Amino acid sequence: MYLPKHFVPDEAAVRELLSHQGASDLITMTSEGLVATALPFEYDPEAGEHGALIGHMARGNDQWRRPVQGEAMVIVRGPEAYVTPSWYPAKQEHHRVVPTWNYVTAHVYGRLVVHDDPAWIESQIRRLTDRHEAGNTEPWSVDQAPAKFVERQLRAVVGVEVVISRVEAKFKLSQNQPQGNIEGVVAGLEARGRADDAAVAAAVRTHAPHAARAGRREH
């Protein structure tokens, strides 16, 4: 990953991203070439030296059967948004500005382990479901489905685990811009209101260079 120093997050920010990810891309190199599947993962920080990403996929998806050459990679994505140069005060001064894209991502590398074990899979599915149902007024639980139905569903999937060896993360959030342009980006995102704009605006605020300096002064 191309990673200028402006965009390197701290370990706490990376853990936060991994803990609250949505669907991510599992990519493996096989003898027949690259294979990829979008999967919702759970981050288990207690597994192995660097934690693990755990998930499941359809048994009919033969990615899990294909021997992996080298490490597997999971591409985890946070919020992202287009940034127009019209939001930069600098545009009015000299017009030496261009559009860009702000985003949060992590490339997670590790050893792929397959779990063809109904008990392991059920535990993973319960954990994943509980996290995503937590904000609902009436959270759905696996226990609400008939037991025989659940058994059949568990036989239709296999568990996958990426035991993490390293993580390369990039939080590209206008940190290389002067403070006036950063403030313009935040205001523009909040006013535009597209899908991820509010989340990106909040991330820009959190990771702006002046925010880091303020935090060091406070502590």
Report domain extents, the chain: 5-84+101-174
CB 155 within 8 Å of CB 188: no
User: The whole model's pTM is what?
Assistant: 0.90
Could you please state the CATH topology (level 3) that the domain comprising 5-84+101-174 is classified under: Pnp Oxidase; Chain A (2.30.110)
Write down the pLDDT at residue 69: 97
**Which two three-digit tokens encode residue 76?**
């985890």
Write down the pLDDT at residue 219: 34
CA nearest to 123, candidates 145, 154, 162: 154
Averaged in consecutive runs of 10 residues, what is the pLDDT profile of the chain (219 residues)?
95 97 97 97 93 98 97 98 94 84 98 97 96 94 96 97 98 96 97 96 93 41
Write down the pLDDT at residue 48: 84
Pairing label, strands 52-58, 157-172: antiparallel
CA nearest to 24, candidates 6, 11, 37, 10: 37
Write down the pLDDT at residue 211: 57
Distance CA 91, CA 19 (A): 38
SS3 track for the chain: CCCCHHHCCCHHHHHHHHHCCCEEEEEEEECCEEEEEEEECEEECCCCCCCEEEEEEECCCHHHHCCCCCCEEEEEEEEEEEECHHHCCHHHHCCCCCCEEEEEEEEEEEEEEEECCHHHHHHHHHHHHHHHHCCCCCCCCHHHCCHHHHHHHHHCEEEEEEEEEEEEEEEECCCCCCHHHHHHHHHHHHHHCCCCHHHHHHHHHHHCHHHHHHHHHHC
Distance CA 200, CA 202 (A): 5
Write down the pLDDT at residue 216: 36
**Which two three-digit tokens encode residue 51?**
């934690």
Write down the pLDDT at residue 212: 44
